[in-house]
């Protein structure tokens, strides 16, 4: 039997090589397949999530991985820069189609000091910060910034690791002992010697993030600002769009566009931000950090945006036009940590979309996410209350969504559609811009 060529004759990229094979690599591969691209992965775990979608090469098989792909990208910013340098040189020589994002983006993202300095150089506000390389400098930083402060490794560390909150003078010695090995490169969080960074505390009302895609032609398309809630340093919930942030949207898009253009970036990037007050009492944004990759706070876009962050990243990497980033329906995304919920109970909730990462259960490990998009946005909080009730690990959300004594077996009944929770509806009526028609949701406004 003869099989037709699946690729246009003008298409020179057929296989995308992804550095990393976790859930982000898996979802990138899912987005690449409908566009006609295959993916291969460089990942030392043979049973990683991405193995379901393409061949996985061990780091010892780097040459074979390079041979198998036409263009390269990554799913994790702590990817070794030596590998990225090699792939960049191959692209410069013309033997490969490119390495995206560029090396400089990783260099900045892997070093919190460089990152904060870049923000300030671009006139993007941050929390006050000081470089720390000794216990004496730490004491000086505490005096300069005022307590409390957060002491962090400038390299390595994620999901709350590599940090120490200093609340009083008596914490200084313990904080230094906990993180000092990172200065010499002896610590487990980073093998690269690097100073610590002390960051001043600011009073902020919310943590938000903005995700954008930049194409090889310099075009930038931004998603809505979203609000993020963390539990023990790990993202628990993202609400898209963030309610009441339309007045901050331009500031956020300006900031991420500045960063992407400065780095000559290609692909999807996330910028994490704090909402605080300026001297006149007006809302303002402080930049926290960038993630040079698809991001957990953008998972809602798979169902909730015209074009998901994963598809737009693939489009940028293979030099296709970027897709529309508009939010088509308000949504809430919840991370599944440690233990899987009953999938039947989850899908019994109207508007629930279940994503398993095919990982073994382990305490506080990200093993999936669930996006809630009920047809009527007024039902969002009721749907969240039902979901939290059946999550084995409630990631602190049970404090925000207390149980209303709904049993999983009766989560979706016909009578519920006739008996809306009036208290929930009244609460949502008082919130800014979360409105939609009960018959057909309106496009979310930026």
Please state the pTM of the whole predicted model: 0.87
Question: Of the candidates 269, 313, 304, 272, which has an alpha carbon nearest to the alpha carbon of residue 35?
Answer: 313
Model confidence at 321: pLDDT above 50 = yes
CA pair distance 284, 122, nearest whole angstrom: 16
User: pLDDT value at position 249?
Assistant: 98
Q: Is the per-residue pLDDT at 190 higher than 90? A: no
pLDDT recorded at residue 161: 76
Over range 180-199, report the average pLDDT. Answer: 85
β-partners of residue 271 are 210, 290
Please say if the pLDDT value at position 427 is more than 90: no
pLDDT value at 117 more than 70: yes
The angle subtended at Cα 121 by Cα 118 and Cα 122, nearest 5°, is 90
> Residue 207: pLDDT band by 50, 70, 90 thresholds?
very high
Mean pLDDT of 2-19: 68
- Quickly state the pLDDT bin for 434 (edges 50, 70, 90): very low
State what percent of residues in the chain have pLDDT above 70.
86
- Give the pLDDT confidence score for residue 12 in this predicted structure: 84
Per-residue pLDDT for 426 more than 50?
no
Return d(Cα 435, Cα 189) in angstroms, integer.
Answer: 45
The mean pLDDT value for 60-80 works out to: 96
Q: Supply the pLDDT for residue 186.
A: 81
Predicted confidence (pLDDT) at residue 339 exceeds the cutoff of 90: yes
Q: What are phi and psi of 363, to 5 degrees?
A: -50, 125
Residue 360, CB half-sphere, CA atoms under 13 Å: how many? 4
As a whole number, the mean pLDDT across the chain is 89
Q: Is the pLDDT of residue 246 over 80?
A: yes
The pLDDT of residue 189 is: 63
Confidence of residue 159 (pLDDT cuts 50, 70, 90): low
CB 347 within 8 A of CB 371: no
The string of pLDDT tens digits covering residues 86-96 is 999 999 999 99
pLDDT-derived band at 265, boundaries 50, 70, 90: very high
Look at residue 385 and tell me whether its pLDDT is greater than 50: yes
Residue 406: per-residue pLDDT: 44
Considering only 29-38, 46-55, 343-352, 432-441, which range has the smallest mean pLDDT? 432-441
Query: Is the pLDDT higher at 8 or at 12?
Result: 12
CA distance 337 to 101: 29
Question: What pLDDT does residue 425 have?
Answer: 35
For the chain, give the longest Cα–Cα distance: 77
State the pLDDT at residue 281. 96
Strand partners, 230: 235
| Res 185: pLDDT | 85
How many angstroms separate the CA atoms of 367 and 360, rounded? 8
pLDDT at 403: 75
Section 46-63 average pLDDT: 96
More confident position, 171 or 4: 171
For 104, 363, 369, the CA distances from 392, given in Å and listed in that order, are: 41, 11, 13
- Compute the distance between CA of residue 42 and CA of residue 358 in angstroms, rounded to an integer: 18
Q: What is the pLDDT of residues 169-188, one digit of tens each?
A: 999 999 999 999 999 888 66
Tens of pLDDT, residues 392-406: 999 999 999 997 554
Q: What is the pLDDT of residue 216?
A: 97
Asked if residue 433 has pLDDT above 60, the reply is no
Residue 10 scores a pLDDT above 60: no
Query: Average pLDDT in the 215-220 region?
Result: 98
């Amino acid at each position: 039997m003869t099989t037709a060529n699946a690729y246009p004759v003008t298409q020179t990229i057929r296989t995308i090589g992804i550095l990393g094979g976790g859930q982000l690599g898996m979802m990138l591969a899912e987005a690449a397949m409908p566009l006609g691209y295959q993916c291969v992965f460089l990942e030392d775990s043979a049973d990683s999530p991405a193995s379901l979608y393409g061949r996985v090469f061990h780091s010892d098989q780097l040459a074979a991985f390079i041979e198998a792909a036409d263009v390269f990208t990554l799913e994790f910013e702590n990817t070794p820069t030596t590998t990225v340098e090699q792939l960049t040189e191959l692209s410069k020589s013309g033997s490969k189609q490119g390495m995206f994002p560029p090396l400089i983006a990783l260099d900045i993202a892997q070093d919190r000091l460089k990152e904060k300095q870049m923000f300030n150089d671009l006139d993007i506000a941050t929390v006050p910060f000081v470089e720390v390389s000794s216990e004496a400098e730490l004491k000086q930083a505490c005096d300069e910034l005022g307590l409390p402060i957060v002491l962090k490794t400038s390299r390595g560390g994620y999901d709350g690791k590599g940090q120490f909150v200093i609340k009083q003078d008596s914490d200084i010695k313990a904080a230094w002992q906990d993180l000092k090995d990172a200065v010499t490169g002896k610590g487990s969080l980073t093998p690269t010697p690097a100073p610590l960074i002390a960051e001043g505390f600011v009073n902020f009302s919310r943590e938000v993030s903005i995700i954008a895609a930049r194409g090889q032609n310099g075009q930038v398309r931004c998603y809505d600002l979203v609000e993020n809630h963390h539990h023990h340093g790990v993202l628990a919930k993202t609400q898209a769009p963030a309610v009441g942030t339309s007045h901050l949207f331009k500031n956020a898009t300006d900031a991420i566009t500045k960063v992407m253009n400065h780095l000559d970036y290609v692909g999807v990037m996330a910028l994490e931000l704090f909402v605080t007050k300026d001297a006149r009492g007006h809302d303002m944004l402080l930049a926290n950090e960038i993630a040079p990759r698809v991001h957990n706070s953008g998972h809602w876009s798979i169902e909730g945006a015209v074009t998901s962050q994963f598809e737009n990243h693939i489009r940028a990497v293979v030099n296709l036009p970027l897709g529309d980033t508009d939010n088509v329906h308000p949504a809430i995304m919840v991370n599944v940590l440690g233990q899987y919920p009953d999938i039947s109970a989850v899908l019994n909730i109207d508007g629930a979309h279940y994503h398993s990462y095919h990982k073994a259960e382990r305490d506080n490990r990200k093993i999936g996410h669930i996006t809630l998009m009920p047809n009527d946005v007024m039902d969002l909080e009721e749907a969240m209350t039902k979901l939290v009730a059946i999550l084995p690990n409630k990631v602190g959300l049970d404090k925000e969504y207390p149980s209303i004594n709904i049993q999983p077996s009766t989560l979706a009944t016909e009578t519920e559609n006739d008996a809306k929770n009036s208290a929930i509806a009244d609460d949502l009526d008082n919130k800014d811009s979360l409105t939609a028609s009960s018959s057909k949701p309106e496009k979310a406004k930026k």
